[in-house]
Structure 1
């Protein structure tokens, strides 16, 4: 089963080059994404039965999927499938308008499959070295997607993304080297097991705490750059604003989670070694609050709706960091719940911006009026998405944010709770102030005709809206049990 996660995107990304039929190209990618989703669900069933899915033969010590990696894997596969479905609508319109060529479409699907392949590899390996290589590979694959349109701003954003994330990831490499060193000098590890996060977690009490503390700082900075923590966040608004909307959905919805996954694995090892979460918790809460404050300030002044959503991603990664930093059962559960809610909600919003851009041909808020009247489905989903992403009930993000604040109060982190509420209020006001004017009024451009571009794009938006509403009202029992198992993994050993 594990080999399928690597083989499917490799085959799908290669097969698109053997045909010139647009429908076959679209369907090939969609079929691959659907298979990944099916295998991710099957892997969760196996995890429930056997506690973990492991590699076979030579790969026994390389691949490992437990509840935590399976959870992120499922979110990645679900988001990729929905983005792939939306891409049929989005890029068919781009082809019709001669914005891209058929070869450009093939390149998009090849790169997106390479991007997903790298993320999946990071999630299914238990070797920290391979994880680092995979997360660095996500940078290389997605940089070409960021610069997909080859204009001046897109190329500039791609280079900025590539340079900042590569420098950041170098810090995490130093942290991983220190983890390896800590496991080998204490004679609990070998050359093979020294990079195995599962082995290090099981033998955390025998590792050198002083080295682990330094390693965690390097990994937090390195992977935190890819997560988009402030002040390492500067690549993120430019990358999101220039990438095609389906790419932005993948960057925000799943890439940030993959980098956060690397931090979580290290967090569990360090906390188990120290016997508490004070050290890692203080660092995560500080970075989380700084990221949310940064997002609040910049959201108030943005005039580009994609950049607003990009800063919102920084905010929500900060909320997840706070939940992990508080490190109580309720806060960690809330952080994991927020990972799913943010992935679905932000994917929905970025895909909605794709419809808006194709209709209005601008990313400027000032150039869009009467969105609900012009595009009824997209406009309605977009405005509901704004309320969802800012934490209004009955959407899932409200519940995960509420539980994060509850966890902070429960652990007596009153200052963090108050600051979080203040920043969230500012962000809500900023979103309403900046984006509210897009939805009402009358469209004054006679060239923009009323109606959706097709039925596929709006259908994907409705599916995502259904998910975020239903999960805000009720968490299915199997899903809750999965998040409980993930919480136990993160908190285990303390």
Structure 2
């Protein structure tokens, strides 16, 4: 039954090519989205009832523990909402003659292929297969980045492919070094690249080679995560892709690549010991650099989708910064922030899609009077920007506060202060840059007040409810899954 998680998106990706009409493609999409949601509920309940899920198919490579489940549920839940939002979004683009029926079929087919590759990343325990799946996410999503087939989207797609492929090549070299670090100890072992096996035998790895491996993997997968200075593909790709795809890229893809780093850092830290500062310095430094880079670029953004993209770089930096301290509190805060950023940023990108369809522009200065023209979209967008900037009572505030406290509790007061100052600068930058969108009168007399993509608003409001609710209360099952994931990362079971 667990195989449905992989089979549903793969089969539906192929099924769209049988559709003759636009309505048929939408029906297939709705069916696929529901099946994705059902498979998520079944897998989650199965894990909560029985613990670790290990399939007998694929030679035992299928494996889900609490850390896998955490990222998997993010992928499936946001994937489900994006599929629902996409229906009306594509219809409006069709009515505007931007796309035709064939493009709709291509969109849906690539969307489900993209979801399939990300699911594969987090449901295998083999590092080699995980690397292949992360590379496959690039191939599946690159065509979606260039979906509109204009000069800017094609340029963004090529930039995305080239930079991320180079990064992934570094990650492959890192995995090779990881294998070499085992020396002759694991010769004859059936699965020497299974991270469960490596985690159990981390002490037998050669530390010197393992350190080299970690650098290549951090840079390689960090490129896909969007960490500075390897982040240059991200603003272009996120801004040029259709809004629902931007939601997946930011809310889901970045976490899938980050998942690879988390698995490796767990093995390396277990080998080096709890007092070693090697990985901690690298991750804290790269995290702060990413936050600082985002702070600078956010201040000068003229495109609201690019602004949201730079915000993603910031939040990936925040998560890596927290993971660097490698305490139970900091890891819990990092995973909590991963959840919060995924839902909040996905919501904001979906909202940006509504704004773009209504105003026909991504330039901040050309969007005025949003609260009057689109009251629901404008209100939720404004609150969402406050949420992603770290304002209470939204969930991002509490995860950022926890990260700051975890740094202070580890007696890194200077680092905690730097983190808080940078976050405050970004909050001010986002406020100064975007608030003008919501007030005043629009320059166009053609815009009539009213919402666009009303069915998509259901997905947006649901996401808003989630980030508001989790800012006040974390459900016990979610807390248990996160707690269990923290133990796995720290080297336990």
2: CA distance, partners of 1:53 / 1:110: 28
1: CA distance, partners of 2:120 / 2:190: 18
Alignment of 1:22-171 (within 5 A): 22-57=22-57, 59-60=59-60, 62-171=61-170
2: CA distance, partners of 1:45 / 1:379: 37
Among 203, 206, 209, which residue is 1:208 paired with?
A: 206
The answer to whether the 8 A contact 2:199-2:491 is kept is: no
1:265: which partner in 2?
263
2: CA distance, partners of 1:180 / 1:194: 7
Alpha-carbon deviation of 1:191?
5.6
**Which stretches of structure 1, 4 residues or longer, exceed 6 Å deviation after superposition?**
none
2: CA distance, partners of 1:98 / 1:365: 24
- Equivalent residue pairs, number: 492
- 1:189 to 1:79, Cα distance in 2 relative to 1, 3 A: farther
Is 1:275 the counterpart of 2:273 in the alignment? yes
Alignment of 1:191-270 (within 5 A): 192-270=190-268
1: CA distance, partners of 2:187 / 2:201: 9
2: CA distance, partners of 1:401 / 1:58: 39
2:16: which partner in 1?
16
Alpha-carbon deviation of 1:493?
4.9
Is 1:421 the counterpart of 2:420 in the alignment? yes
Deviates more, 1:282-291 or 1:453-462: 453-462
2: CA distance, partners of 1:457 / 1:125: 33
Structure 1: runs of 5 or more not aligned: none
The answer to whether the 8 A contact 1:186-1:206 is kept is: no
Alpha-carbon deviation of 1:23?
2.7
Alignment of 1:384-403 (within 5 A): 384-403=383-402
2: CA distance, partners of 1:24 / 1:3: 26
2: CA distance, partners of 1:212 / 1:38: 40
2:449: which partner in 1?
450
1: CA distance, partners of 2:277 / 2:41: 35
2: CA distance, partners of 1:130 / 1:363: 38
Instruction: Give deviations 1:449-481, integer Å, cap 9, x for gaps.
Output: 110124212222111110100011100111111
- 1:171 to 1:20, Cα distance in 2 relative to 1, 3 A: same
1: CA distance, partners of 2:298 / 2:453: 31
2:382: which partner in 1?
383
2: CA distance, partners of 1:378 / 1:213: 48
Structure 2: runs of 5 or more not aligned: none
Deviates more, 1:26-35 or 1:243-252: 26-35
2: CA distance, partners of 1:451 / 1:297: 35
Alpha-carbon deviation of 1:334?
0.6
2: CA distance, partners of 1:164 / 1:100: 28
Could you say what the CA RMSD is over the residues aligned between the two structures, in angstroms? 1.3
Instruction: Give deviations 1:314-339, integer Å, cap 9, x for gaps.
Output: 00000100111111111100100011
1: CA distance, partners of 2:261 / 2:187: 21
